[in-house]
Structure 1
Amino acid sequence: MSMMQLTVLVAVNMMGSGIIMLPANMAQVGAISLLSWIVTALGSMAIAYGFAQAGLLNQRAGGMAAYAEDAYGKGGYFLTFFLYFLSLAIGNVAIAISAVGYLAAFFPWLSSSPIATCIGVIGLIWLTTVANFGGPRVTGRIGAITVWGVIIPVAGLSIIGWFWFKGSTFSAAWNPQGLSLMKGVDSSIALTLWAFLGMESAAQNSDAVENPKRDVPMACMLGTLGAAAVYVLSTTVIQGIVPNKALAESTGPFADAYAQIFNPAVGSVIRALAILACLGSLLGWQFTIAQTAKTAADDRLFPKFFSKINKMTAPVLGMIIMGVVQTLLAFSTASPSLSKQFSVLVNLAVVTNVIPYIISLSALMIMMRKAGVVEHTYKINTFVATVAMLYGTYAIYASGMEAVLGGTIVLALTFLIYGFLAPRFPSPVTIEPARG
């Protein structure tokens, strides 16, 4: 794989279904929220670079959790793995909500009440769970095709949308709430970071690259920058096409933009593509969650029943259990507004995702010392990793008190669970028997 091929792969991996509801959520703040993209793009590139360097030094299975283990032992491995695992489950519910938002145009009853929306979300969760019983081959093929259902319309709007862009529409949408510059940026940091989640997977392909030491860091940076360009352009141009009030209330912002540019029929086609992309993304992430749980069970970090597979090598029991967990999440976050429910889940997903980012990136310094990295490289990597961790800390703060409270509770439960698992593994500290 060449550097350019890996760069495209990185960008495509990030540009999934996470972007399709963002314009509506950002419009509730105003176009001033677009400034969040600048901060998030810089922070995300720092995170991507840190993971690229860590991936070159540690290529064991487990990714971020394996990086954390180098510094914090098996406890760090479990903490990173479990929080990331939960963030994927939370993110899946948010993806299902995005799909329901676009489906509501075809089936209006889905947005008629919180209960109807919740039923729709749960229905999609179980549809994609059961579809995964066929094994990884089917899931992979579907996901590789359906992801373009989002990428093509979003990237396309970034290019052609400017012919219909109106400065007056954009100006009216700039700051309808009269927020300060800092408040405007803070309000959308979690939303914009949500679109970049998945960048940690970039370093996992280092063994298939011609020159990993040169190509992996560059591809991570360029791929993240490419995704950032599409995100910024598409969410900016849509603010100059669809009036802010209509955009803020939209359940399918990109479909509405295409309907306004061309006609409702084209908007309906875009809606259908977005729905397929969400279903494909949800299908892939459902399998990823179950497979992650299976790997943890194989390492004695999860109950053994997560390891059970069917004839198609699909961990069916684990999929069913995670389907139940996501169903409970859908019930617990039900809201009169699709946009509000989406925002709550995204904020919580970001908090539970960024904590593992910080833990694993903080291990980079120890990894470099163990590997005997030259001092110049050590200083550069340490600086970038520090920027990445500071950005991650800011993202947690910007996610809001409710998300931070939820993340803290999840963190406490993670330690509680590991307390029962710790005796299975050698202690890094020699424990003297009690005397007396």
Structure 2
Amino acid sequence: MAESGKKMSLTGLTTLVAVNMMGSGIIMLPTNMAQLGAVSLLSWIFTAIGSMAIAYCFAQCGIFCPRSGGMSAYTEQAHGKSGFFLCSYLYFLSLAIANVAVAISAVGYMTEFLPWLGSGAIPLFIGTIGLIWITTLANFGGPGITGRIGAITVWGVIIPVAGLCIIGWFWFKPEVLIAAWNPNELPISEAVSRTIPLTLWAFLGMESAAQAIDAVENPKRTVPLACLFGTLGAAVIYVLSTTVIQGIIPNAELANSSAPFALVYARMFTPMIGNIIMVLAVMACIGSLLGWQFTLAQTAKMAADQGMFPNFFSKITAMNAPIIGMAVCAVLQTLMALSTISPNASAQFSKLVSLAAVTNLVPYVTALTGLLVIMYKAKVSASVYVRNSLVLLVALTYSFYALYSCGMEAVFGGTLVLVIGYLLYASIAKRFVGTPPPPLSEIGDA
């Protein structure tokens, strides 16, 4: 047990939560949101409220169910072993899809230095799988190296994005934002709905906020507050940065940019500054991808340790790296990149984000519903039960709305992989059955 004085404070944990969520999720969003206009900024309001509710509920799950397994463990409380498997399976797929989207983001920024990467579908595909395999091989050194690199490179996105929230207002022109408000003349409800998957993408990762319970002071107070404040802090930075950039760069130009933050810094200062931002963004993406590749392999290893994924995912080296599992994950991501191949980085990114959101939202729903059983088993007070149930209702309402907003194609794809998940679980379900039932012949003779 760590000494109280050496544990993380509310400020420290709040900062950690915000940094973990921001990562590289923001760097392509201005381009994708500009395709619908500045009206898309309204979706931040719904996503910020929904994300804070989800983060708070996960914090409560972690407090009252302090067992390993994260969302899968919470799901099992309400939905049994099959729920544990399906949550792990879908979360694993969502991370794999998200990794491909992060790699595409990095390639989008690299096209300014290597124009060939943006010259067609094949060059974009080659650049994407190149980054996937480079970050996979780099993880063979174990989690220590991965953690140190990620802790440094993540600031390559956070500093420029947070900095834009402060200094960008000196270049902000209200008339540019007004002109960009709704170029497609869509109903506001439709415009907001169509950008919900994009804004949700920026908050994915909030489910990890409750994993530091053992390392913080007064966790029953600190963890829920840090989840809320950290999510709110990220939301403020997201809203301000995307608003500022849409008030500096004309909408048509922003909608066609492969490196929106580099573009705005070049416009505010000089092309040289824009190039520096571009390098920082690529570094941040690679660092983020490095960390998520390891998280992907660890998610598969956790499920394999429970007997739910193939045994090769559990094999680790002396450096504590599951390299066989990592290689299999890289192959899977290569196939995903190939199946969504497109000559346009922004179009491919948007398609992957919607699918990643669907495959992440289903585990969110199954894990969140586990909170009701978790609170029942923990015998919480009536006031805590009512308060948490109300927040849970907000979290689930947003999750259902977000699923609807992801669109028919993404929901259809998510449904297919869910059905495949049920078929896969059926093939291993016998491992988790206790005493087998007697043969039918014996039942008939009784």
TM-score normalized by the length of structure 1: 0.98
Matched, 1:28 2:35: yes
| 1:74-111 per-position Cα deviation (integer Å, ceiling 9, x unaligned) | 11111111101110000000000000000000000001
Counterpart AA for 2:84: Y
Counterpart AA for 2:223: V
Question: Which of these residues, 157, 164, 173, is aligned with residue 166 of structure 1?
Answer: 173
Matched, 1:396 2:433: no
1:61 counterpart SS class: coil
Matched, 1:320 2:320: no
CA distance in 1, matches of 2:361, 2:310: 25
Counterpart AA for 2:228: M
Question: Which of these residues, 131, 134, 148, is aligned with residue 141 of structure 1?
Answer: 148
Aligned to 1:103: 110
2:343 counterpart SS class: coil
Question: Which of these residues, 114, 122, 129, is aligned with residue 136 of structure 2?
Answer: 129
Aligned to 2:157: 150
CA distance in 1, matches of 2:59, 2:436: 34
Matched, 1:118 2:125: yes
Question: Which of these residues, 3, 19, 22, is aligned with residue 12 of structure 1?
Answer: 19
Question: Which of these residues, 201, 204, 209, is aligned with residue 211 of structure 2?
Answer: 204
CA distance in 2, matches of 1:80, 1:431: 27
**Per-residue deviation, 1:335:** 1.2
| 1:210-254 per-position Cα deviation (integer Å, ceiling 9, x unaligned) | 101111111100000000000000000000011101100000000
**Per-residue deviation, 1:426:** 2.8
CA distance in 2, matches of 1:70, 1:321: 30
**Per-residue deviation, 1:299:** 1.5
Counterpart AA for 2:330: G
Q: Would the alpha carbon gap of residues 389 and 432 (structure 1) be closer, same or farther in structure 2, given more than 3 Å must change?
A: farther
**Per-residue deviation, 1:312:** 1.4
Question: Which of these residues, 222, 227, 252, is aligned with residue 234 of structure 2?
Answer: 227
| 1:286-337 per-position Cα deviation (integer Å, ceiling 9, x unaligned) | 1111122122212111111111122212111101100000000000001121
**Per-residue deviation, 1:398:** 0.2
Paired residue total = 435
CA distance in 2, matches of 1:98, 1:21: 6
Question: Which of these residues, 200, 204, 208, is aligned with residue 193 of structure 1?
Answer: 200
Matched, 1:278 2:260: no
2:203 counterpart SS class: coil
CA distance in 2, matches of 1:229, 1:345: 25
Counterpart AA for 2:324: L
Gaps of 5+ in 2: 1-7
Aligned to 1:295: 302
Percent identity between matched residues is 63
Aligned to 2:55: 48
2:25 counterpart SS class: helix
Counterpart AA for 2:219: P
1:302 counterpart SS class: coil
Matched, 1:407 2:414: yes
Matched, 1:425 2:436: no
1:314 counterpart SS class: coil
2:420 counterpart SS class: helix
Q: Which moved more, 1:147-156 or 1:205-214?
A: 205-214
CA distance in 1, matches of 2:180, 2:268: 18
CA distance in 1, matches of 2:261, 2:145: 28
Question: Which of these residues, 324, 331, 345, is aligned with residue 338 of structure 2?
Answer: 331
CA distance in 1, matches of 2:265, 2:393: 41
Any runs of at least 4 consecutive aligned residues in structure 1 with deviations exceeding 2 A, and if so which?
429-436
Q: Would the alpha carbon gap of residues 431 and 178 (structure 1) be closer, same or farther in structure 2, given more than 3 Å must change?
A: farther
**Per-residue deviation, 1:433:** 4.7
Q: Would the alpha carbon gap of residues 177 and 116 (structure 1) be closer, same or farther in structure 2, given more than 3 Å must change?
A: same
Aligned to 1:236: 243
Aligned to 1:94: 101
CA distance in 2, matches of 1:164, 1:73: 55
Counterpart AA for 1:384: V
CA distance in 2, matches of 1:198, 1:295: 18
Counterpart AA for 2:265: Y
| 1:346-389 per-position Cα deviation (integer Å, ceiling 9, x unaligned) | 00000000100000000111111111111111011011111101
Counterpart AA for 1:38: I
**Per-residue deviation, 1:430:** 8.3
